[in-house]
Amino acid sequence: MRDDIGLEPAQWRLDETPSGWVLSFRSGITLDEVLEEADLGRSVYYISLVFWLPAPQARAIHSMYESANSAHSVELHGDVLELPQGTFRARNLESLRVTADGASPGRFTLTFTGDATPDVRLIGWPGFERDAAEAMARAVRSATDRGVQQRHPAER
Protein backbone atom coordinates (compact mmCIF):
# COMPACT_ATOMS: atom_id res chain seq x y z
CA MET A 1 0.00 0.00 0.00
CA ARG A 2 1.68 3.19 -1.24
CA ASP A 3 1.03 6.44 0.61
CA ASP A 4 0.63 9.98 -0.64
CA ILE A 5 4.40 10.58 -0.74
CA GLY A 6 5.14 7.45 -2.74
CA LEU A 7 6.61 5.22 -0.03
CA GLU A 8 5.87 1.59 0.66
CA PRO A 9 6.00 0.29 4.26
CA ALA A 10 9.56 0.12 5.65
CA GLN A 11 10.85 2.68 3.15
CA TRP A 12 12.43 6.09 3.56
CA ARG A 13 13.71 8.87 1.32
CA LEU A 14 15.81 11.97 1.89
CA ASP A 15 15.28 14.82 -0.57
CA GLU A 16 17.63 17.78 -0.47
CA THR A 17 16.01 21.20 -0.91
CA PRO A 18 17.55 24.63 -1.52
CA SER A 19 17.20 25.40 2.21
CA GLY A 20 17.93 21.98 3.74
CA TRP A 21 16.33 18.56 3.39
CA VAL A 22 13.13 16.55 3.90
CA LEU A 23 13.30 13.04 5.36
CA SER A 24 10.14 11.04 4.59
CA PHE A 25 9.55 7.58 6.02
CA ARG A 26 7.12 4.77 6.82
CA SER A 27 8.09 2.19 9.41
CA GLY A 28 6.30 -0.87 8.09
CA ILE A 29 5.62 -2.49 11.46
CA THR A 30 3.24 -5.46 11.33
CA LEU A 31 0.11 -5.84 13.39
CA ASP A 32 1.62 -8.96 14.98
CA GLU A 33 4.61 -6.88 16.17
CA VAL A 34 2.30 -4.29 17.71
CA LEU A 35 0.20 -6.97 19.40
CA GLU A 36 3.32 -8.69 20.76
CA GLU A 37 4.59 -5.41 22.20
CA ALA A 38 1.23 -4.66 23.78
CA ASP A 39 1.03 -8.21 25.14
CA LEU A 40 -2.42 -8.64 23.60
CA GLY A 41 -3.25 -11.84 21.77
CA ARG A 42 -4.33 -11.73 18.15
CA SER A 43 -7.61 -13.54 18.91
CA VAL A 44 -8.56 -11.07 21.67
CA TYR A 45 -7.81 -8.19 19.33
CA TYR A 46 -9.92 -9.54 16.44
CA ILE A 47 -12.81 -10.66 18.65
CA SER A 48 -13.00 -7.19 20.18
CA LEU A 49 -13.01 -5.53 16.74
CA VAL A 50 -15.49 -7.93 15.12
CA PHE A 51 -18.02 -7.92 17.93
CA TRP A 52 -17.42 -4.31 19.02
CA LEU A 53 -16.79 -5.42 22.56
CA PRO A 54 -15.69 -2.67 24.89
CA ALA A 55 -11.97 -3.12 24.38
CA PRO A 56 -10.34 0.30 24.46
CA GLN A 57 -6.94 -1.37 24.49
CA ALA A 58 -7.66 -3.09 21.16
CA ARG A 59 -8.81 0.18 19.59
CA ALA A 60 -5.72 1.94 20.95
CA ILE A 61 -3.50 -0.75 19.45
CA HIS A 62 -5.20 -0.40 16.07
CA SER A 63 -4.63 3.34 16.28
CA MET A 64 -0.93 2.76 17.14
CA TYR A 65 -0.60 0.40 14.18
CA GLU A 66 -2.14 2.89 11.75
CA SER A 67 -0.08 5.79 13.08
CA ALA A 68 3.17 3.83 12.88
CA ASN A 69 2.46 2.83 9.29
CA SER A 70 1.44 6.23 8.04
CA ALA A 71 3.86 8.51 6.23
CA HIS A 72 5.93 10.91 8.32
CA SER A 73 8.26 13.72 7.30
CA VAL A 74 10.95 15.69 9.09
CA GLU A 75 12.34 18.89 7.58
CA LEU A 76 15.49 20.89 8.10
CA HIS A 77 15.07 24.52 6.93
CA GLY A 78 18.31 26.43 6.99
CA ASP A 79 19.77 25.74 10.40
CA VAL A 80 16.42 24.92 12.04
CA LEU A 81 14.93 21.48 12.63
CA GLU A 82 11.28 21.60 13.72
CA LEU A 83 10.06 18.49 15.57
CA PRO A 84 7.06 17.83 17.81
CA GLN A 85 9.55 17.84 20.73
CA GLY A 86 10.70 21.37 19.90
CA THR A 87 12.99 23.40 17.66
CA PHE A 88 16.61 22.36 17.28
CA ARG A 89 19.70 23.59 15.48
CA ALA A 90 21.30 21.71 12.61
CA ARG A 91 24.49 21.38 14.67
CA ASN A 92 22.58 19.20 17.15
CA LEU A 93 22.47 16.53 14.44
CA GLU A 94 26.23 16.05 14.83
CA SER A 95 25.30 13.83 17.80
CA LEU A 96 22.87 11.72 15.72
CA ARG A 97 23.10 8.05 16.66
CA VAL A 98 21.32 4.77 16.01
CA THR A 99 19.95 3.22 19.20
CA ALA A 100 17.49 0.53 20.27
CA ASP A 101 16.09 2.84 22.97
CA GLY A 102 12.42 3.57 22.38
CA ALA A 103 12.15 1.12 19.47
CA SER A 104 10.26 -2.12 18.99
CA PRO A 105 12.29 -5.31 19.52
CA GLY A 106 14.79 -5.76 16.69
CA ARG A 107 14.35 -2.17 15.51
CA PHE A 108 16.30 1.03 16.00
CA THR A 109 15.56 4.75 16.36
CA LEU A 110 17.58 7.81 15.35
CA THR A 111 18.33 9.92 18.40
CA PHE A 112 20.37 13.08 18.93
CA THR A 113 21.24 15.39 21.81
CA GLY A 114 19.60 18.81 21.88
CA ASP A 115 20.97 21.91 23.61
CA ALA A 116 18.65 21.44 26.59
CA THR A 117 17.20 17.99 25.91
CA PRO A 118 19.37 14.90 26.32
CA ASP A 119 17.60 12.45 24.00
CA VAL A 120 15.54 13.68 21.06
CA ARG A 121 14.11 11.13 18.65
CA LEU A 122 14.42 12.14 15.01
CA ILE A 123 12.88 8.76 14.14
CA GLY A 124 11.03 7.24 17.09
CA TRP A 125 8.85 4.21 17.76
CA PRO A 126 8.57 1.71 16.21
CA GLY A 127 11.89 2.35 14.48
CA PHE A 128 13.55 0.64 11.53
CA GLU A 129 15.76 -2.39 11.03
CA ARG A 130 19.41 -1.66 11.84
CA ASP A 131 20.64 -1.39 8.22
CA ALA A 132 17.90 1.07 7.27
CA ALA A 133 18.40 3.14 10.45
CA GLU A 134 22.17 3.35 9.85
CA ALA A 135 21.64 4.33 6.20
CA MET A 136 19.17 7.05 7.26
CA ALA A 137 21.64 8.38 9.85
CA ARG A 138 24.44 8.54 7.25
CA ALA A 139 22.15 10.31 4.74
CA VAL A 140 20.96 12.86 7.33
CA ARG A 141 24.52 13.61 8.52
CA SER A 142 25.78 13.97 4.95
CA ALA A 143 22.92 16.23 3.78
CA THR A 144 23.19 18.33 6.95
CA ASP A 145 26.98 18.74 6.53
CA ARG A 146 26.57 19.77 2.88
CA GLY A 147 23.91 22.32 3.82
CA VAL A 148 25.99 23.81 6.64
CA GLN A 149 29.02 24.06 4.35
CA GLN A 150 26.96 25.84 1.71
CA ARG A 151 25.37 28.29 4.14
CA HIS A 152 28.40 28.87 6.39
CA PRO A 153 31.58 27.99 4.47
CA ALA A 154 33.86 29.61 7.09
CA GLU A 155 32.54 27.37 9.91
CA ARG A 156 33.95 24.13 8.47
pLDDT of residue 29: 87
Q: What pairing do the DSSP bridges indicate for beta strands 86-89 and 97-99?
A: unpaired
Task: Please give the chain's pLDDT, 156 residues, in tens.
Answer: 445 667 888 899 999 999 999 999 998 888 778 877 776 666 666 666 666 555 676 677 778 888 888 889 999 999 999 898 899 999 999 999 999 999 999 999 999 999 988 899 999 999 999 999 999 999 999 999 887 666 655 554
pLDDT of residue 156: 45
pLDDT of residue 146: 86
pLDDT of residue 77: 93
pLDDT of residue 2: 45
- For each of the domains in the chain, give its residue range(s) and CATH number, in order of start: 1-27+71-156 (2.30.29), 30-68 (no CATH)
pLDDT of residue 64: 83
pLDDT of residue 47: 63
